[in-house]
Structure 1
Amino acid sequence: MSSVRVLLRALVPAVLTAALVAPMSGARAEPSAGELTQQITKSSAQLEKVVESYNKLNEEIKSSRATATALGARIGPLEQQVAQGRTEAAEIASRAYKTGGLSGASALLGSGDVSTLVGRLGALNQLARERERQIEGFDATQRRYAAEKAQLDVTLARQTAQVKQLAASKKKIEGELAKLYDMRRAAYGSATSAGSRYTGSVPSVSGKAGVAVRYAYNAIGKPYVWAAEGPNGYDCSGLTLAAWRAAGRSLPHNAAMQWDAVAHIGRGSLQPGDLVFYSGLGHVALYVGSGKVIHAPTAGESVKLASVDMMSPYGYGRVR
């Protein structure tokens, strides 16, 4: 037997063995705790963006509905004025028609002469023209407002559809999070981090900012709940909204819209009660002093006290 055949006979079993063993040895093991944490962090960041977009649409819808209601209230009286004007115009036309006949002329003349009749007919025609101009004005105004209201209705329908789309996206992400939480539960015995109430001393801050800061400290330990603004749970912009609402200030339920509503300041000017923005305006927290913020982190976690540099800040704002 040639040396080549001997070599081939020796190699074939080894190759087969390697082929059988390779898939088993190459099979991916269960994700480690660190890998699971990274996956959950990534999915949570995606979810937060969806939630904040959902919150923004809700704010826009509320604004549009308020505008539509105001327009509707203004259109109603206009419609009544137009209807009244048309009725008066019809009466004027009827009177003008009747005065055009011989009997009508005789009635208008009475004991007067032809010049009196001509004068009366001229005044009647002038009145009719003025009424027509009024009606045209009413009609133009009504058409303008009706067009604006129709445009708002279209906007509301589009925004409502977008909210449904975002809710579907959120549901998909939450489904993926649920799978990761199942694996985390298997690894750690719990899918979420347990939150606990704050029992330390609350900084003494005066004025409305102090009210907002105290509210945020009292919220520590409460769960993150998407699109929620308390009192039993919060998302990030819901927490800052609720804290400042307690202090008598109104903020929209969206981090980016809150950025537009506050006065922008530098880091060196930070004071308790100011807002700190992160993740390209996708996250917001309340500054409470001493380099700390309170925020609602993400799904599966609770409101907590953290360093202002827990992430790279996008910017800083003061509630006006």
Structure 2
Amino acid sequence: MFNGRTTLRSVVVGVAVAALIAPACAAHADPSPEEIQAQIDKGNNEVELIVEQYNKVNGDLAATQTALTSLEADLVPLQSRMDAAHADADSVAVNAYKTGGGNLRTMSLVLGAGSSDAFFDRVGTLEQISRSQQQDLAAYTSAKTTFDAQKQRLNETLAAQNRQKAELETRKKQIEGDIARLDEMQRKADAAAKAAAAAAKKPAPTTNTNTNPGAPPKVNGAAGKAVAYAWAQRGKQYVWGAAGPDTFDCSGLTMMAWKAAGVTLPHNAAQQYAKVRHISRSQLQPGDLVFYNNLGHVGIYIGDNQIIHAPNSRTVVKVSPIDIDTLYGYGRP
């Protein structure tokens, strides 16, 4: 749930990022590349949590819309029966008017019976029509009362979810601004590292390289299909809220990877963790999901202590060591 604590965290991150980007005053030395990288990592962790909240509210909205549509569909047959009952009642009223009144018409039907059996048949038929109409009316009234209550509840839920989405959308520019500042910090860190390497006459270290050597892991079954899908997405850009085909965020990648294997997962790391079977690290097999950052990030295990994941907007879908971030847990779809 999106709350004030999350808002405060993101504001603190934004302030911390801005403070690092601003020119250093005379009393303080410029931050080291390591310090900048630490701030980048912290900022990306905060952004990931916001992204996953955005994905969750989108999923919740879709579920609520589906429930409303289903509720409307459930009322259709009851409405049809009620319309038919009203049509029958209208027909009886018209006939009664034409023949001089409902009671006279009913009496003539009964008295016109040629035998006692016919008499009771006609009385029974009239009673059956009346009971059927009453039952239809009672069923419709009960169903309509339940429908109205459920629809009101769903509409209230929908309104709350739309407000939550609007809040997240409003913060989208702020998040993108934070990411832009992180990118600027990274460029400064790279420049500092290159300058230090040049001074020491050593090759400068590179950051965020997409080193994905070798052929795709050989994995059988559904897990193999999930791994193969994720492997094929390497090099594609991270975009928050995206689930392919050309861009992904972390839970969008794992969702689509397992969709290729015939398994449905939500577009949210926390909801994926709630749905999968939890396992230990020693039980990990290719295709299993690895969760990080208090359920703010997820990747897909490919063996040899490596995952494929969509890390953040500064890089692309790539292979990384499993211990790339603070581990939360492991799950098998």
**Fold match, TM over 0.5?**
yes
Counterpart in 1 of 2:138? 136
1:203 to 196, 203, 217: 217
Q: How does 1:52-201 map to 2 (within 5 A)?
A: 52-92=52-92, 98-99=100-101, 105=107, 109-110=111-112, 124=126, 127-186=129-188, 188=190, 195-196=209-210, 198-201=212-215
Q: Which residue identity is paired with 2:138? A: E
Shift of 1:125: 5.0
Query: C-alpha distance in 2, partners of 1:49/1:244?
Result: 22
Paired residue for 1:296?
Answer: 310
Identity of aligned residues (%): 41
Letter in 2 for 1:75: L
Distance in 1 of aligned mates of 2:184 and 2:175: 14
- For residue 259 of structure 1, the aligned residue among 273, 293, 308 is 273
Asked if the contact 2:40/2:186 (under 8 Å) is kept, the reply is no
1:164 is matched by which residue type in structure 2? A
Q: How many residues align?
A: 295
Residue 313 (structure 2) pairs with residue 311 (structure 1) = no
Tell me if the contact between 2:210 and 2:319 (Cα under 8 Å) persists in the aligned partners. Answer: no
Counterparts of residues 200-279 of structure 1 (less than 5 Å): 200-279=214-293
- Alignment of 1:280 with 2:282, yes or no, is no
Q: In 2, distance between residues paired with 1:211 and 1:263?
A: 19
Distance 1:120 1:100, change over 3 A: farther
Are the counterparts in 1 of residues 113 and 122 from structure 2 also a CA contact under 8 Å? no
Q: Tell me the alpha carbon deviations over residues 210-234 of structure 1, each in whole angstroms, 9 at most, x when there is no partner.
A: 1222222222222221111122221
Secondary structure of the residue aligned to 2:247 is coil
1:239, CA displacement in angstroms?
1.2
1:34 matched to 2:48? The reply is no
The one-character-per-residue Cα deviations of 1:103-155 (angstroms, maximum 9, x if unpaired) are 875676458699x9899568535632441232111221122123323322222
Counterparts in 2 of 1:199 and 1:270: CA distance versus 1, 3 Å: closer
- The separation in 1 between residues aligned to 2:294 and 2:180, in whole angstroms, is 26
**Normalised by the size of structure 2, how large is the TM-score?**
0.76
AA matched with 1:220: R
For 2:25 and 2:224, the matched residues in 1 are separated by 60
Q: Which amino acid letter does the alignment assign opposite residue 158 of structure 1?
A: A
After TM superposition, give the deviation of residue 251 of structure 1 in Å.
1.2
Q: Distance in 2 between matches of 1:287 and 1:133?
A: 59
Question: Aligned partners of 2:113, 2:246: CA distance in 1, in Å?
Answer: 87
Q: Output one character per residue of 1:144-199: Cα deviation in whole Å (capped at 9) or x when no partner.
A: 12332332222222212211212223321221232342344355369x95654734
CA shift in 2, pair 1:49/1:113, >3 Å: same
Paired with 2:108 and 2:229, the residues of 1 have a C-alpha distance of: 85
Distance 1:103 1:123 in 2: 14
> How far, CA to CA, are the matches of 2:179 and 2:108 in structure 1?
91
Give the TM-score of the pair, scaled to structure 1.
0.79
Alpha-carbon distance in 2 for matches of 1:254, 1:150 = 27
The residue identity in structure 1 corresponding to 2:36 is L
Q: Distance in 1 between matches of 2:53 and 2:320?
A: 24
Contact 2:113–2:119 (Cα < 8 Å) also in 1:
no
Query: What do residues 28-58 of structure 1 show as CA deviations (whole Å, max 9, x unaligned)?
Result: 4544433322222222111100100111111
Q: Deviations over 1:267-290 (max 9, x none)?
A: 221111111111222211111111
In the TM superposition, what is the alpha-carbon distance from 1:235 to its structure 2 partner? 1.1
Aligned-residue CA RMSD in angstroms? Answer: 3.2
* Gap runs ≥5 in structure 2: 1-23, 193-205
* CA–CA separation in structure 1 for the residues paired with 2:104 and 2:217: 95
Distance 1:33 1:162 in 2: 37
